[in-house]
Amino acid sequence: MPWTFELIDPPYGGVSEGPAWDGSVLFFTHIQQSRIMKYDPNTGKVTVFRENTNCANGLNFDRSGRLYGCEGGANIDARRVVRYDDSGGVTVLVDELRPGLLGSVLLCEPVAFSPDAMASRPPGEGPGDGGNFMSQIARKRRAVWPDRDAVLASYRSRPPFDVLAPESLAAYVQWGFVDRADGQVELACPPEVEATIFEVSGEPPGAPAAWRHLDALSAPATVARGDHSDLPTEWFAMQAARAGGALVTLPGGHFFVQEDTARAERLVRDQLTWDSASRPPS
């Protein structure tokens, strides 16, 4: 059958790569400009999805709809596989599978706790809470809203969202909700799924497994926490000690990264700067 090609964006003068389709939007990379672009066929527009991607190339989605990318197209010493979270954060996935591949690791209030520490948390009060009070809170979340403006107006006035930087909250509302056929918006992660994640995090493959790997990290690690976190300070001190790294305390709560995005950028750049000559062998 004959193909008909349509130009959706002017030539970049470089290489575009990594097409990945999420069911409604096409994502692709502009390697030289370190950008991930997205094409919406409903509007016909191409916009920037993410910048400063370390010359990301290939992209793919997992079965949960999370976007992964291969970064480091311009620098062999910075090659890595990452997951792009809706919040804008990046999760490095490969240290345990590929020891020595990562140059350094920054862990911001990581969910990597010993079973003894987790047992000290208060259990949930409702049936099916899995002994995790966060799952009970998650199940009470309102899932469907009239529109994103209504979500934003409500969230900005109550914790924990009221302390987030405006751009962080706007990004969460934009990407943390999906449009419904009836014109309303709905949480992209249903409350029951979020509650289950909190429950599963306490199982052996979750936080305990991450805790066990901390002392086997092949890359230098830094643990960062907020000084108003609802999690105990000693938990993060134990993480840093187990990983053989420093503990950094910054103003803010559990979401201190999202409370001040400029400070978060400086933290990432400062803590993840390393000399390739001292990189562990891969």
- pLDDT surpasses 60 at 90: no
Q: What is the mean pLDDT of the chain?
A: 80
Is 6 within the bounds of a domain? Answer: no
Domain boundary among 198, 230, 258: 198
Q: How many CA atoms lie within 13 A of 37 on its CB side?
A: 19
The band of 130, judged by pLDDT with boundaries at 50, 70 and 90, is: very low
160 lies in the same domain as 76: no
Domain boundary among 142, 170, 198: 198
Is 3 within the bounds of a domain? Answer: no
108 lies in the same domain as 90: yes
36 lies in the same domain as 109: yes
Is 5 within the bounds of a domain? Answer: no
163 lies in the same domain as 243: no
Is 74 within the bounds of a domain? Answer: yes
231 lies in the same domain as 96: yes
CA distance 163 to 168: 10
Q: Which residues does 234 contact at the CB level (< 8 Å), separation at least 6?
A: none
Kind of pairing between the strands at 221-226 and 246-250 = parallel
- pLDDT surpasses 90 at 167: yes
99 lies in the same domain as 211: yes
Q: Which domain holds residue 152?
A: 118-198
What's the angle, vertex CA 40, arms to CA 37 and CA 42, rounded to 5?
170
221 lies in the same domain as 186: no
Is 9 within the bounds of a domain? Answer: no
Is 86 within the bounds of a domain? Answer: yes
Strands (E), the chain: 16-21, 26-30, 35-40, 45-51, 59-61, 67-71, 80-84, 90-92, 105-108, 144-145, 177-179, 185-187, 221-226, 246-250
Is residue 36 within 8 A of residue 56, CB to CB? The reply is yes
* Of the candidates 231, 221, 225, the residue with the CA atom closest to the CA atom of residue 250: 225
pLDDT of residue 89: 46
173 lies in the same domain as 83: no
88 lies in the same domain as 223: yes
CA distance 200 to 40: 35
- pLDDT surpasses 60 at 205: yes
Domain boundary among 155, 181, 198: 198
CA distance 62 to 65: 5
Polymer length of the chain: 282
**Tens-digit pLDDT profile for residues 33-60:** 888 889 998 888 888 888 778 788 889 8
CA distance 201 to 236: 17
The band of 74, judged by pLDDT with boundaries at 50, 70 and 90, is: low
The CATH number assigned to the domain holding 235 equals: 2.40.10.500
The band of 92, judged by pLDDT with boundaries at 50, 70 and 90, is: very low
- As a whole number of angstroms, the longest Cα–Cα distance in the chain is 65
CA distance 223 to 271: 10
146 lies in the same domain as 103: no
Give the CA-trace dihedral at 253, 170, 89, 82, to 10 degrees. Answer: 160
Place of tokens 């990004």: 171
Is 7 within the bounds of a domain? Answer: no
107 lies in the same domain as 228: yes
pLDDT of residue 121: 61
21 lies in the same domain as 111: yes
Is 2 within the bounds of a domain? Answer: no
pLDDT of residue 48: 86
Please state the domain count of the chain. 2
In the DSSP assignment, the letter for residue 201 is T
